[in-house]
Amino acid sequence: MIINPGKLTLSDLKTYLAAPTVVRLSDKATDNITQSAKAVENILASAEIVYGINTGFGGLANVVIDPNQLEQLQTNLVLSHATGVGPLLDDRVVRTILLLKINALSLGYSGIQLSTVEALITCLNHDMLPCIPSQGSVGASGDLAPLAHMAAALLGFGQFRHRGEIVSAEQGLKTLGIKPLTLRAKEGLALLNGTQVSTALAVTALFETKHLFNHALITGCMSLEAAGGSDKPFDERIHRVRNQPEQQEIAKRMRELLGGSQIRQSHVNCAKVQDPYSLRCQPQVMGACLERLNSAEQVLAREVNACTDNPLIFINDDGEDVISGGNFHAEPTALIADSLALVITEIGNISERRIAMLMDTHFTDLPMFLVKGGGVNSGFMIAHYTTSALASENKSLATPCSADTIPTSANQEDHVSMATHAAMRLHRMNANLTHILAVEWLAGAQGVELRQPLTTSPLLAKSIARLREKVAFYDKDRYFADDINAASDLLMSTL
């Protein structure tokens, strides 16, 4: 995988995460980094006072640092900022962080040494991943605490995780054949400042949510079939006059998923007038969710190619301009993460409602709780309880994180985004949604098979056959947790 500055796509990133390969810099990236590092050397030679190069940081920005202490300043910056707590970020997220940081530094505005970027690449290529605690960032001035743990490992402090085993940073560097780095002026800020942690969390969550979204279309159609619902609400004409392209797309996909169903044909002229909203309003709900997913994809595609540290170095014909701004403020990611939280919650809400409907004989002619011999057998009764608990948990987690802010650094950093927390909770929400959809998959397949000898559509039958490779038809009560876990694992196995 060649890093071409500013050209990393979400598709590239998803492909890399599915099958990590060797990463290297393009010639353009190497030139950008080298020229930016040279600009820092020029500034130091001129004795000009420039924030982030020969001053303190944050609330100490007005303190000028003696030239003999500049290297110590970088070490102190990294070690003092490595204050993260909580569970470690998983390997998938850390790989993404490293890749995004390398990509950002390759843009050539950060003043970092080429050897430091190459050390990050060596860690990534050998799966020697810095141990990064998940808590401690407020999403401005960048993800300081977690990125400090990333940087500290390069200096020989902290720990690495290598193929599941945690080793000391010193041992990890020795394994790689790298000596602990000594950072030069500006390098500490280049490594610590930036939104790579919050962005990595949001991007990996987006990949999960899109996968779950597609599965929810299948389980939603399966529930419709199990309930003996109508496909008339998916008529192209209805959705054309709403003027929402995503809604039209979802209706089209649902018509394709339901095509060729004997179950549907068996009750075309039945007496039922209307289905519950959780069945017939799926295009409207899922279409709105798709619009939000598309918007999130656009914003995050830009953010993965953004330079978000501070100050930034711009090279021109007259020399260098070092400008202090606020690209480290992760508000774009925070707002997108909050939007994704609502999408995850809504997919779970409407799925839980369909599961509840399949339990209720007022809405279907299926056995109560989808099992014969009710009374002796409880069937899916408590499986629905579980989805109710998970859906409600996601409602609580969907509270906007970006609405919160708290001043830091002696009020110098007086408005923050909370993007890291906003993005991190998406993974927990996706885990909850996975289990909700797994139960709907089980319930929908159960309902469809209870309608035999009538058959569902070929596409839905294929999904049921895949499920039945791991989970048998529920003919009588058994240990249910294994069924849910197997369906959940199968659901996420193709991510």
**Exactly one of 16, 51, 385, 474 is catalytic; which is it?**
51
Closest by CA to 88, choosing from 158, 138, 157, is 158
- Distance, CA of 188 to chain centre: 27
CA distance 71 to 188: 9
- Sequence-distant (6+) residues with CB within 8 A of 108 are 5, 29, 31, 32, 33, 35, 36, 315
Amino acid type, 199: T
Q: How many Cα atoms occupy the beta-carbon half-sphere of 41 within 13 Å?
A: 8
Instruction: Give whole-number Cα distances, 111 to 69, 71, 321, in Å.
Output: 18, 14, 12
Cα torsion 430, 431, 432, 435: sign:
positive
- Distance, CA of 385 to chain centre: 27
Determine the Cα angle at 78 with ends 76 and 83, to 5°: 110
Amino acid type, 279: L
Q: What's the longest Cα–Cα distance across the chain? A: 87
277 is an active site residue: no
Q: How many Cα atoms occupy the beta-carbon half-sphere of 178 within 13 Å?
A: 24
Residue 434 · residue 491 · CB < 8 Å: yes
Amino acid type, 455: T
Which SS3 state, helix, strand or coil, does residue 340 take?
helix
CA distance 284 to 268: 23
For residue 141, say if its preceding peptide bond is cis, omega within 30 degrees of 0.
yes
Q: Are strands 312-316 and 319-323 parallel, antiparallel or unpaired?
A: antiparallel
CA distance 343 to 30: 40
**If you write DSSP's letter for every residue of 192-237 in order, what string do you get?**
HSSSHHHHHHHHHHHHHHHHHHHHHHHHHHHHHHHHT--SGGG-HH
Q: Return the exposure string of 196-225: e unless at least 16 CB atoms fall within 10 Å of the residue's CB, then b.
A: bbbbbbbbbbbbbbbbbbebbbbbbbbbbb
Catalytic site positions:
51
